[in-house]
Structure 1
């Protein structure tokens, strides 16, 4: 099905402030290129349930309803946080654009300006991410990790109320809704790599309709995000697995580092290649990294409770 009869591009989004803000960014870029847009709010299972993400099947629960709306023609475009998208291809759909990526780091948002190092022993830190849980336990095994759900303001409110001492959130999301003031410490990507695709948006369309949004695609953001996500796919780990990855392009060289966390330790693999030396640089580099991670025991760590 093509766009609405009026020529308006209907863009599907979740209803949270962050989702609407991110979708608004995409809408404005399309409007700059002469399009007329309309935001369509779609309720997802992830928004309706308070259960832990892992028990619902991971962050992909935020995606299914948007994809259904695309396939049945209620919307023409869907905007996702790329880290929420399952790595397996969706029949009939295509990621038509990955706009320029925002800051991929995590941030600690703690009371009284505390950092990860200065949080008191036994401090209560909230996160709904198994990867962040593993990282927190690796750095501060004394902390009490509390599973949290809800939008950014809800999570920050639990710190402001004193229920939690801190939460860990994505810098990109905080920045997009103007809440960087809540950050007490930026967690740098070297020691604290983040979810594959974090900081990037995915603009999804029906297969064959990529031209609708292709002008928004940012080549460097796509190759780095694809390298990270294809590593995750090769590891056969879902978006709720304790896997972190970060890729960057510097002077034509694509660098990729990925880390798998286990209960007692983590393993890391890092490789690089020149983008011009490969027909599929993201895929080729992901294969090298995943192969080494498996050799180091990744399968056992991913399957660990």
Structure 2
């Protein structure tokens, strides 16, 4: 590469191709693939003596994908030609944080240490955004990755590596994206868990491809005559009903209809597979259980 940034090459068989520095006097071809026709070798001492006023020395920062961190180099150069370089300490922390954000945009938000609770909160708020619009923000990966710097940069003071980012830092970013007055309403509209009649707290998956869903053993819903719903009863949950071995056996958004309809066939199959468990004819009036059978039976 020449001082002005243009690229040019020599044939590998040319004796000058082994020289570290050249003074080039003639080039042919296009800027991207020029060929050197005339040049002479020059060593670093000659460069220092003849071009000293044109030599610059600076610390350059760059994001290193391999280590997922910002690295610093002390560089001596003439234009685009690097004469010498060495690793250096990162001193400009503001610039480093900006580069780190750019690296995260490039690698994707999955490289960040989101906690399970933070991921669940983001899914719930994004669901509110998609269904209610403003003032609920879009906290999806797609939306946040478009401009990482705007929401994450203020929380990265002194950080030069993705490995040094903590869930607490991300919590601070979420607090900026989701003000407290909105966050305090999330649980009322979209609870994080559904409490089954047995008392089990089942996490609600707001990122499910067909809408908010829970996976629950069907026996834990015995006695339930109203379908579980969110957003003040407006949105029914998708129930992914599981066998005692936690294998899916049915999906429904109408639990009373399931009890009255296809339950009979499901119960018959379950009796054959799990004969030690309780399979009532009318589950709507049976006692829910997390055991093989309800207590006292």
* TM-score, normalising length: structure 2: 0.24
| Structure ID, larger Rg | 2
Flag the structure with more relative contact order, 1 or 2, with Cα contacts below 8 A and sequence separation at least 6.
1
* TM-score, normalising length: structure 1: 0.24
